[in-house]
Structure 1
């Protein structure tokens, strides 16, 4: 694959979100399949692998370490702190410097590495000034435990405040045709400070693939069960958008998933989508999106068809929304 820049790193224009293999959408594949998928992703040209302490409460980092630790020079490794399961077994946001350090040490051990290339603050702790959390990450850079600092799901103001403490290499947030919030202010902030923008859920948690027609049977552990857009009544209305979307994919000569990724790549040369999957076939399909060219007319049609005004339902429920700082469109 072609490459894009994150600080001094050259990474594949499409990265791999590893979360799905261990967490988020119900039971993942068995370990052997996960190991195979991660290695075949490297073989296919992926050089940017994204995990976090939260994913499977450490299980995903262990899987990544076990599967591709022996190929450490083949990829840029990203993980995250600030969102974890605490010692009492409770999921929490915690951006205290001592906890960031503890989480990093645990991640290094699980991944089996001496240094993490890009380490994000997964969520900003409302009880800890961003300057304190980023200061702790800056200390880890000086100590050689991480190489670059990133932020996730934060506002443009937070990005700029953090950047004054330590250079921010990348900002990660949800971004796809149906989640356009970064366009309000975050993309501009990233451009201003020279940070890459990493787009998670770029195929809208499977919606834009066209292969999820019925959400009534989602697993109890599937996070989409808590997302208003996937409420069966809302989702049925959202599916109506896909008929024309499928026509635009056919016109472009690609799959629906590839069109979603190609749209993001065309939005800016500092944007790096990181689709996740539990399927080797889909992983390879996503990689091929790097070679899809979207015409100006199709770009215009896409953005008119699927946007914050045409999608029914919020991207998070009220509880989850409280944990993110990304700007919101008016109701």
Structure 2
């Protein structure tokens, strides 16, 4: 096993309800799903244990990853007494039975939670997110069931992922939201307009997924050549040939700045996220120990205000070509829910 990095991983508060996590988390999705074939289980368990030894205590998964196989992987990795050191986050909201259906009805919320508890082999989930917002169910109804699960001791804290500002506000009125997970990186900054300010107004922690642009801010255009045919990123607009040349220019600028600073482009991109505030926790994913060691080293990279401005100038508005997803309908931009008055419980 590669030696654990010497970077000290500081702790941070996520939200206002008492949740404390490592200032950088570990996204586990790519170990099991979407980014090519599932990786060998023993190697991924070794990576998870290596991350824990390095001071990472915040692990992120979802029932949808696999589906289910990523939670089962974490369940195996958590055996042997490490559970008490960790803050475990998982998610519900996309039913994989017979297609991708977004659901937030109470019966589904409860069944999904109980399924995750079984697969993870734990008695309580530290942070339970709604992965995508069901636009047919008032958010107050979904939150009502999550609140019951908190009261029953099955989950400790509630989170939302890819929710609009108004949805976050309505949800927070039912039960405090501890964290909102969203895509935020040097080349995905839409959330800064109203979602980030709303979270900060309400004292909600911010968890940044894909802080490395799904690997593009680590390796640039050459990443595409290494992707398997089963890798979902091949179909993502920003990775398509018609957008690649322009986006590659962004990476080259980031890479040149990283070289000047004596760090890697991954570390520079992650450092930018860390410098957004003490309420922001990025959760880069990886399947390689050497990449993990690089990523955690970002905690030691310091950026001046001038360097932040320079880095942001490389990715000025309109420079990034292509949407974040092949279809944006399931993301935060369209996640309003009907009013509570419209709901007729069965």
Q: Which TM-score bucket, shorter chain as reference?
A: over 0.9
Q: Kindly indicate whether residue 268 of structure 2 is the aligned counterpart of residue 259 of structure 1.
A: yes
Deviations 1:29-64 (A, max 9, x none): 201101100000100110100000001110000100
Can you give the 5+ residue segments of structure 1 that lack an aligned partner in the other structure?
none
Q: Which residue of 1 aligns with 2:69?
A: 59
Q: Kindly indicate whether residue 330 of structure 2 is the aligned counterpart of residue 323 of structure 1.
A: yes
Q: Which residue of 2 aligns with 1:81?
A: 92
**Post-superposition offset of 1:220:** 3.4
Q: How does 1:1-331 map to 2 (within 5 A)?
A: 1-6=9-14, 7-70=17-80, 71-86=82-97, 89-210=98-219, 212-213=221-222, 215=224, 218-318=227-327, 321-326=328-333
SS in 2 for 1:167: coil
**Post-superposition offset of 1:210:** 2.3
User: Which segment is superposed worse, 236-245 or 152-161?
Assistant: 236-245
How far apart in 1 are the matches of 2:104 and 2:192? 26
How far apart in 1 are the matches of 2:136 and 2:282? 30
**Post-superposition offset of 1:217:** 6.2
How far apart in 2 are the matches of 1:307 and 1:170? 28
**Post-superposition offset of 1:227:** 1.4
How far apart in 1 are the matches of 2:296 and 2:251? 22
Q: Closer, same or farther in 2 for the Cα pair 1:214/1:49, shift >3 Å?
A: closer
**Post-superposition offset of 1:303:** 0.8
Q: Closer, same or farther in 2 for the Cα pair 1:288/1:133, shift >3 Å?
A: same
Runs of 4 or more above 3 Å deviation? none
**Post-superposition offset of 1:326:** 3.6
**Post-superposition offset of 1:253:** 2.1
Can you give the 5+ residue segments of structure 2 that lack an aligned partner in the other structure?
1-8, 336-346
- How many residue pairs are counted as aligned between the two chains? 324
Q: Closer, same or farther in 2 for the Cα pair 1:269/1:53, shift >3 Å?
A: same
SS in 2 for 1:114: coil
How far apart in 1 are the matches of 2:185 and 2:256? 18
Q: Which residue of 1 aligns with 2:4?
A: none
User: Which segment is superposed worse, 234-243 or 219-228?
Assistant: 219-228
> 2:61, 2:70 within 8 Å by CA — same for their partners in 1?
yes
How far apart in 2 are the matches of 1:296 and 1:146? 39
How far apart in 1 are the matches of 2:19 and 2:54? 19
How far apart in 1 are the matches of 2:223 and 2:289? 22
How far apart in 2 are the matches of 1:299 and 1:195? 24
How far apart in 2 are the matches of 1:40 and 1:212? 29
Q: Cα RMSD over matched residues?
A: 1.5
